[in-house]
Amino acid sequence: MSDPYVIVGLGNPGPGYAETRHNAGFWFLDLLASRSGSVFRTQTKLRADLAKTSLYGQDCILVKPTVFMNHSGQSVRAVVDYYKIPGNRLLIAYDELDLPVGVVRLKQGGGHGGHNGLRDIFRHSRDHEFLRLRIGIGHPGVKDAVTGYVLSRPSAEQELMTRRVISDAADAMRDVLGNDIPKAMKKLHTVNTEDTVTGRDKGSN
């Protein structure tokens, strides 16, 4: 039997953050759980809410850290160690300031790009070659405005576009879990992005 595939969504816990841009990773996990009919259960020792399920014939563990974003590495390390998951069976989904709204990208390895959740995962892990699902949220245009921007709710238009590409990403998991990453990348990276908007273009909060 192969190892389960661990899919982690990054975000902040609690209802006050549920609809914010920074929780796009949680939105993705919630969609995967809904599609597979699975339910998240709190695992206190692992500092995460987990849902064990099967997606496209592959055993998966969906993980939503119950710690705040800046401490995401604690949850990821705890889950990876407990289930003895190798780096090639790990995907992290998170919000990406450097991509416009309506764009989602798959990436293997690389740096943390200044993302606080990834930064903490790097701090708690030696293997940084895990797969990343980068969900574009746009940029407010000014560095000092980033914190307020990611912790606020997107406009209705932006939220619709974000959830649409998250649905595309969920569809692409068939290929990811089938170990055909190039095919998944090709599908997602050729999605029509003509109508994408950044936070500075329109509909910003």
| Average pLDDT for 129-145 | 94
Give the pLDDT band (50/70/90) at residue 111. Answer: confident
Q: CA 144 to CA 108: how far, in whole Å? A: 29
For residue 22, give Cα distances in angstroms to 8, 105, 117, 147.
Answer: 14, 16, 10, 9
Q: What are phi and psi of 42, to 5 degrees?
A: -70, 130
Would you list the domain boundaries of the chain? Answer: 5-189
Q: What are phi and psi of 63, to 5 degrees?
A: -130, 125
Between strands 58-65 and 48-55, the pairing is: antiparallel
For residue 2, give Cα distances in angstroms to 88, 117, 188.
Answer: 12, 28, 26
Hey, what CATH class is 5-189 in?
Answer: alpha beta
| Average pLDDT for 122-128 | 86
Residues 22, 71, 115, 124: which is the catalytic one?
Answer: 22
Inform me whether the pLDDT recorded for 194 exceeds 50.
no
Catalytic (active site) residue 22: yes
Between strands 58-65 and 41-43, the pairing is: unpaired
Mean pLDDT of the chain: 90
| Average pLDDT for 95-108 | 94
